[in-house]
Structure 1
Amino acid sequence: MSGYPVHTIESAPVQSRPALQQLQQAFGLIPNIAGAMAASPVLINGFIGLFERVHASSLTERQIQTLLLTNAVTNASEWAVAFHTALALKQGVQPADVDAIRHGGLPDEAGLASLSTLARMLIETRGHLAESDKRRFFEAGFSSEQILEAIAVVAASTITNYTGSVTRPALETLFEEFVWHAPAL
């Protein structure tokens, strides 16, 4: 047992309720990870602010979901991998590309592969990208601004990935078909 409740709008601290209402509107449900985050108004409100900006960036939803799924796998966040598998498929990421990411590989589509590589490198190097990493990203058609946007996606997903690892919320029935287990260390 994690010891962290999964809050509803009614049970959450008052300062967390608007964020949960916003997620309810965006997804049609309050993801369990957000219900766990809601125990801290600081965490849930910081996450929502970043979440809004990430989804208003120049990156497409397919690209964002590719980044989020890659981040979840790289951070070994089981809840987030299942959730972002469902969202990536919904946003049109090809099933073979989703499967490749879930197994630590790269999508076949060049642009998505470049984003996935960048995300993994950002996490594994703690943001210390080599000039060659940046050059490959630019050669794939992305801009210097989009590297910064990818950093924002990594930051947002780090919040959910780490929250999931600490609080261990139950996976919603809706996402059970996409269950994923981190490889043993």
Structure 2
Amino acid sequence: MPAPAFPDHTLESAPDAARRSMEAVVNKQGHLPAAVSRLATSPQLLDGFLKISAIFESTTLDPLSREVLIMTIATRNDCHVCVAMHTAKLTALGADADLIAALRTERPLPAERPEAVRQFTLAVIATAGAVDDAALQDFLAHGYTPQNALEVVLGIGAYTMSTLANRMTGAPVGPQLAEFAPAPM
């Protein structure tokens, strides 16, 4: 049950400034996820997240690397709705089941290149961006670029925002993602 401060807004009940963003999500996904309806309590946060996540999607990081980064943040920050959503995205990308399982349980990944982006993401977080040369060189040695290193920072920012907001609002996993939801603890 959400705190009264974070209602499940509809297009009709949402603040005027959130409606355009909400309509765009409905048009793209075919439904209004509860996470979006609750984030609409702050039209600025909702709009900001949707914009920054779209910018992240346009980076030169390949789709699998982006999803590895997102799942690394989602599991680290224990955002169950994010884990479900990005498990679905990884599945749609055709990602290996062992890779998905390792990401969901925060274990080393079975493939070197995705593991390099996971490790680099964790290093950026652990050092507040002051990664040592060895960490950067290891990331680059797996075919990533200096531009990709900065795009990791962009992804961390976008998905830290959403994971923290989704946890604060108590956003539930909707029926569309139920099959991808983490098991209750």
- In the superposition, the TM-score normalised over structure 1's length comes to 0.91
- For the residues of structure 1 that align with 2:78 and 2:157, how far apart are their CA atoms? 15
Q: Deviations over 1:86-141 (max 9, x none)?
A: 11111122111000111111322222111111222223333231221111100011
Q: Give the paired residue count.
A: 183
User: Are the equivalent residues in 2 in contact too, given 1:69–1:81 (CA < 8 A)?
Assistant: yes
User: Are the equivalent residues in 2 in contact too, given 1:82–1:175 (CA < 8 A)?
Assistant: yes
Deviates more, 1:70-79 or 1:5-14: 5-14
Supply the AA of the counterpart residue of 1:2.
Answer: P
User: Are the equivalent residues in 1 in contact too, given 2:140–2:146 (CA < 8 A)?
Assistant: yes
State the Cα distance separating 1:64 from its structure 2 match: 1.3
- For the residues of structure 2 that align with 1:110 and 1:177, how far apart are their CA atoms? 28
User: Where does 1:33-112 land on structure 2 (aligned, <5 Å)?
Assistant: 33-112=35-114
Supply the AA of the counterpart residue of 1:93.
Answer: A
User: Where does 1:144-183 land on structure 2 (aligned, <5 Å)?
Assistant: 144-180=146-182
Gaps of 5+ in 1: none
- For the residues of structure 2 that align with 1:78 and 1:181, how far apart are their CA atoms? 9
Aligned to 2:2: 2
- For the residues of structure 2 that align with 1:54 and 1:118, how far apart are their CA atoms? 17
User: Are the equivalent residues in 2 in contact too, given 1:76–1:182 (CA < 8 A)?
Assistant: no
Matching of residue 17 in structure 1 with residue 28 in structure 2: no
- For the residues of structure 1 that align with 2:30 and 2:68, how far apart are their CA atoms? 22
SS of equivalent residue, structure 1 residue 84:
helix
User: Are the equivalent residues in 2 in contact too, given 1:33–1:160 (CA < 8 A)?
Assistant: no
- For the residues of structure 2 that align with 1:13 and 1:92, how far apart are their CA atoms? 38
User: Are the equivalent residues in 1 in contact too, given 2:39–2:166 (CA < 8 A)?
Assistant: no
State the Cα distance separating 1:8 from its structure 2 match: 2.4
- In the superposition, the TM-score normalised over structure 2's length comes to 0.91
User: Are the equivalent residues in 1 in contact too, given 2:80–2:182 (CA < 8 A)?
Assistant: yes
SS of equivalent residue, structure 1 residue 135:
helix
Q: Deviations over 1:65-96 (max 9, x none)?
A: 11111110111111111111111111122111
- For the residues of structure 1 that align with 2:88 and 2:122, how far apart are their CA atoms? 20
Amino-acid identity (%): 23
Aligned to 1:118: 120
Gaps of 5+ in 2: none
SS of equivalent residue, structure 2 residue 172:
coil
- For the residues of structure 1 that align with 2:142 and 2:34, how far apart are their CA atoms? 36
Post-superposition, which runs of at least 4 consecutive aligned residues in structure 1 deviate over 3 A?
Answer: none
